[in-house]
Amino acid sequence: MKKTILILLLSLMGFTQIRAQESTSERDKRMKWWREARFGMFIHWGPYAVWEGSYKGHEQRKGGAEWIMNRSKIPVAEYQQAAATFNPVRYDPESWVLLAKQAGMKYIVITAKHHDGFAMFRSNASRFNIADFTPYKKDVLEALAKACQKYHMKLGFYYSQAQDWNNPGGAASRKLTNEGWADPDSARIDAFTAANNGHWDPAQLTATMDEYIDKVAVPQVRELLTNYGKVAVLWWDTPTGMTDAYALKLQALLKLQPGIITNDRLKHPNFPGDTGTPEQKIPKPGELEGKDWETCMTMNGTWGYRASDNKWKSTEVLIRNLCDIASKGGNYLLNVGPNALGEIPQPSIQRLQEMGAWMKTNGEAIYATKGSPFGSFSWGRCTRKVVKGKTILYFAVFDWPKEGKLNLPGLTQKPLSATILTDGTKLDWTHAADGLVLRLPEEAPDAIATVIKVVIKGNLTQTHSNAQ
């Protein structure tokens, strides 16, 4: 008992040194790049890509393809046999980083270890890693870190700190067998998982979670924060079975990277981290007001690679999502799911390139902006920034007004200028009872989102509007 208390105290002291005494100005300095970035790339990649979303000829029925081991209740030995064939010979980290840059993204977060327990890096804590367990025999994170350093891209690591379906002692969220496929033995398996905290294979039960945290999670996080240069983000996921004691041990390691930014998924509710993580949804206006948050979202229906998933969001939807998120003061962490060979699917590449073309002209309306002072408009979104005593408002118009007039309720000050960001076209305006009316060309310069830049002197004197 005394030893446990001592460990907790030491862990807590480590946490106190790096966060609790941080002033507001110090936090603002640490968070500055992240708040200005607004757009990042999420990468879900691991040996689950070998399965391509299908087990024994059955398409996984529910959830992302990275969950196939749990959803389909694949035995540990069978999953490891497939993982041993994982050989991403077409992996080209420089092309991934350059694609992210082309898209206008400012940081990358990759799954260093997902819930299947497979480390995408060389690890002394578990042989179940890409360098020691596969014919590839190389550390993909090491290569990605070098590419990010070369092209000045921020790099972050996703790490599943609690769930681990291969390393004994790791937690497992309980999912029913029929979420994967119609296993004829589902009744027995589901009964076993119910009796064993979500585990479906006796091989998962040969160690305790205490042992897993101490022998796998803590040393692997230490490796991630020691071996790859500067780490910008540590993205925890699913605190299944986590305790304060476990969380403190992991959080104490952050002192290895004093400037690191973490999310809110280490352990609920008393380890909030730095950023909120709404998943696959965009918050309503004001829902996360005053907080740092990041919407993580897929381009199709799954995080990990699924060969049959062709439900791709259009470039229009993705760009408008980015505008919507920025207008509410958040970041957009947009996912790609490479296949087992290490290739990012072509539909993802195409959409990122098209987003990049839009960002090349309109990125000014996204980067380093704050949320809209008007809420959301029925026809589009607004972001803002204050530069040298001037307030700059960026109105992203999704639905171009047929009558050639754009109403800006709530904006009562006379603009210093109003222009279309695409080509610098100057716009005329008139005052209305509740704000400003801009005169627009007949046709939208950009059918997806035309950005109008309005500059006023000083700060806004009125922020009330009828925007919805």
Domain presence at residue 156: yes
- pLDDT per residue as tens, the chain (468 positions): 444 444 444 444 444 445 668 999 999 999 999 999 999 999 999 999 999 999 999 999 999 999 999 999 999 999 999 999 999 999 999 999 999 999 999 999 999 999 999 999 999 999 999 999 999 999 999 999 999 999 999 999 999 999 999 999 999 999 999 999 999 999 999 999 999 999 999 999 999 999 999 999 999 999 999 999 999 999 999 999 999 999 999 999 999 999 999 999 999 999 999 999 999 999 998 899 899 999 999 999 999 999 999 999 999 999 999 999 999 999 999 999 999 999 999 999 999 999 999 999 999 999 999 999 998 999 999 999 999 999 999 999 999 999 999 999 999 999 999 999 999 999 999 998 889 999 999 999 999 999 999 999 998 864 444 454
Reported pTM: 0.95
Instruction: For residue 162, count CB atoms less than 10 angstroms from its CB and return exposed for 0-12, middle for 13-18, buried for 19 or more.
Output: buried
Task: Give CA–CA dist 283/327, Å, rounded.
Answer: 11
Same structural domain, 308 and 421: no
State the CB neighbour count (10 A cutoff) for residue 417: 12
The label of the residue with tokens 């006023």 reads 456
Instruction: For residue 286, count CB atoms less than 10 angstroms from its CB and return exposed for 0-12, middle for 13-18, buried for 19 or more.
Output: exposed
Helix, strand, or coil (residue 4): helix
Same structural domain, 392 and 357: no
Which residues does 27 contact at the CB level (< 8 Å), separation at least 6?
A: none
Domain presence at residue 375: no
Instruction: For residue 428, count CB atoms less than 10 angstroms from its CB and return exposed for 0-12, middle for 13-18, buried for 19 or more.
Output: exposed
DSSP-assigned beta bridge partners for residue 163: 171
Domain presence at residue 109: yes
Same structural domain, 357 and 390: no
Same structural domain, 344 and 392: no
Among 318, 338, 365, identify where a domain stops: 365
State the CB neighbour count (10 A cutoff) for residue 80: 18
Q: Checking DSSP bridges between strand 39-43 and strand 294-297, what pairing results, if any?
A: unpaired
- Confidence (pLDDT) at 138: 98
Same structural domain, 384 and 265: no
- Confidence (pLDDT) at 277: 98
CATH of the domain at 77: 3.20.20.80
Both tokens of residue 67? 């969950």
3-state SS track over 344-388: CCHHHHHHHHHHHHHHHHHHHHCCCCECCCCCCECCEEEEEEEEC
Among 365, 400, 435, identify where a domain stops: 365
- Confidence (pLDDT) at 460: 83
- Confidence (pLDDT) at 20: 67
- Confidence (pLDDT) at 17: 42
Give the chain's radius of gyration (CA, Å): 24
- Confidence (pLDDT) at 12: 46
Instruction: For residue 238, count CB atoms less than 10 angstroms from its CB and return exposed for 0-12, middle for 13-18, buried for 19 or more.
Output: middle
Amino acid (1-letter code) at residue 450: T
Amino acid (1-letter code) at residue 363: G
Domain presence at residue 467: no
- Confidence (pLDDT) at 264: 98
Which residues does 10 contact at the CB level (< 8 Å), separation at least 6?
A: 252
Both tokens of residue 321? 């999502």
- Confidence (pLDDT) at 19: 63
Same structural domain, 326 and 384: no
Q: Checking DSSP bridges between strand 107-113 and strand 261-262, what pairing results, if any?
A: unpaired
Same structural domain, 412 and 315: no
- Confidence (pLDDT) at 7: 45
What would the DSSP string read from start to end of 106-154?
-EEEEEEE-TT--BSS--SS-S-BHHHHSSS-S-HHHHHHHHHHHTT-E
Same structural domain, 345 and 402: no
- Confidence (pLDDT) at 11: 45
Among 304, 333, 365, identify where a domain stops: 365
Domain presence at residue 258: yes
- Confidence (pLDDT) at 461: 65
Number of compact structural domains in the chain: 2
- Confidence (pLDDT) at 456: 96
Which residues does 232 contact at the CB level (< 8 Å), separation at least 6?
A: 33, 34, 107, 154, 155, 156, 259, 260, 261
Q: Using an 8 Å Cβ cutoff, are 173 and 165 in contact? A: no
DSSP-assigned beta bridge partners for residue 409: 435
DSSP-assigned beta bridge partners for residue 276: 293
Domain presence at residue 55: yes
Task: Give CA–CA dist 91/93, Å, rounded.
Answer: 6
Residues 21, 25, 26, 31, CA torsion sign = positive
Helix, strand, or coil (residue 418): strand
Same structural domain, 345 and 408: no
Task: Give CA–CA dist 36/268, Å, rounded.
Answer: 27
Question: Where in the sequence is the domain holding 449, given as residue range(s)?
Answer: 380-457
